Structure 1
Amino acid sequence: MITYCIIDDEPIAHRIIEGYCKELLHLQKIGNAYNPIEASVIVTRQKVDLIFLDLNMPKMTGFEWLKTLPKPPQIIVTTAHKEYALEGYELDVLDYLLKPFSFPRFLKAVNKVNASEQVSPAKSPGNPNLENGRFFLKGDKKYHQIHTDDILFIEAYGNYTKVFLTEEMIVSHEKISTLENLLPKESFLRIHKSFVVATDKIKRIQGNLIYLQDYKIPIGQTYKSKIHHLLGGK
Structure 2
Amino acid sequence: MIQCLIVDDEPIARQILETYCRHLPHLHVAASCSNALEAKTELQKQPIDILFLDINMPVLDGLAFLKTLRNPPQVIFTTAYKEFAIDAFDLAACDYLLKPFSFERFIVAVDRATALLSKPVAVTADVRAATPETVFIRYEGKIYHIRLDEILYAEAAGNNTRIVTVKDTLAPVMTFSAVEALLPRPAFLRVHRSFLVSRAHIGHIEGNRIFIRSHEIPIGNHYRDEFFREVGLNG
TM-score (norm 2): 0.54
* Alpha-carbon distance in structure 2 between the residues aligned to 1:69 and 1:175: 19
Code of the aligned partner of 1:175: P
Q: What residue in structure 1 maps to residue 120 of structure 2?
A: 175
Contact 2:4 2:52 in 1 (8 A): yes
Secondary structure of 1:96's counterpart equals strand
Pair 1:90–1:24, CA change in 2 (3 A): same
Q: What residue in structure 1 maps to residue 78 of structure 2?
A: 78
Q: What residue in structure 1 maps to residue 3 of structure 2?
A: 3
Contact 1:4 1:28 in 2 (8 A): yes
Code of the aligned partner of 2:18: E
Secondary structure of 1:111's counterpart equals helix
* Alpha-carbon distance in structure 2 between the residues aligned to 1:15 and 1:66: 22
Offset of residue 2 of structure 1: 1.0
Q: What residue in structure 1 maps to residue 136 of structure 2?
A: 194
* Alpha-carbon distance in structure 2 between the residues aligned to 1:106 and 1:54: 14
Deviations 1:73-114 (A, max 9, x none): 110000111111110111111111111111111111111013
Code of the aligned partner of 1:217: K
TM-score (norm 1): 0.54
1:217 equivalenced with 2:151 (yes/no): no
Deviations 1:35-55 (A, max 9, x none): 111010001111000010001
Contact 1:51 1:76 in 2 (8 A): yes
Code of the aligned partner of 2:41: V
* Alpha-carbon distance in structure 2 between the residues aligned to 1:108 and 1:219: 28
Equivalence map 1:33-182=2 (5 Å): 33-115=33-115, 117=117, 174-180=119-125
Instruction: Decide which structure has the larger Cα Rg and report it.
Output: 1
Q: What residue in structure 2 maps to residue 168 of structure 1?
A: none
Pair 1:109–1:116, CA change in 2 (3 A): closer
| Superposition RMSD in Å | 2.4
Deviations 1:113-158 (A, max 9, x none): 134635xxxxxxxxxxxxxxxxxxxxxxxxxxxxxxxxxxxxxxxx
* Alpha-carbon distance in structure 2 between the residues aligned to 1:37 and 1:218: 45
Contact 1:176 1:194 in 2 (8 A): no
* Alpha-carbon distance in structure 2 between the residues aligned to 1:58 and 1:102: 26
Contact 2:136 2:143 in 1 (8 A): no
Structure 1: stretches of 5+ with no match in the other structure: 119-173, 181-189, 197-211, 221-234
**Percent identity among equivalent residues?**
42
Q: What residue in structure 2 maps to residue 156 of structure 1?
A: none
Deviations 1:166-209 (A, max 9, x none): xxxxxxxx2354445xxxxxxxxx8x87357xxxxxxxxxxxxx
Contact 2:136 2:144 in 1 (8 A): no
* Alpha-carbon distance in structure 2 between the residues aligned to 1:57 and 1:178: 36
* Alpha-carbon distance in structure 2 between the residues aligned to 1:219 and 1:112: 23
Offset of residue 58 of structure 1: 1.2
Secondary structure of 1:5's counterpart equals strand
Structure 2: stretches of 5+ with no match in the other structure: 146-235
Code of the aligned partner of 1:46: Q
Contact 1:2 1:117 in 2 (8 A): no
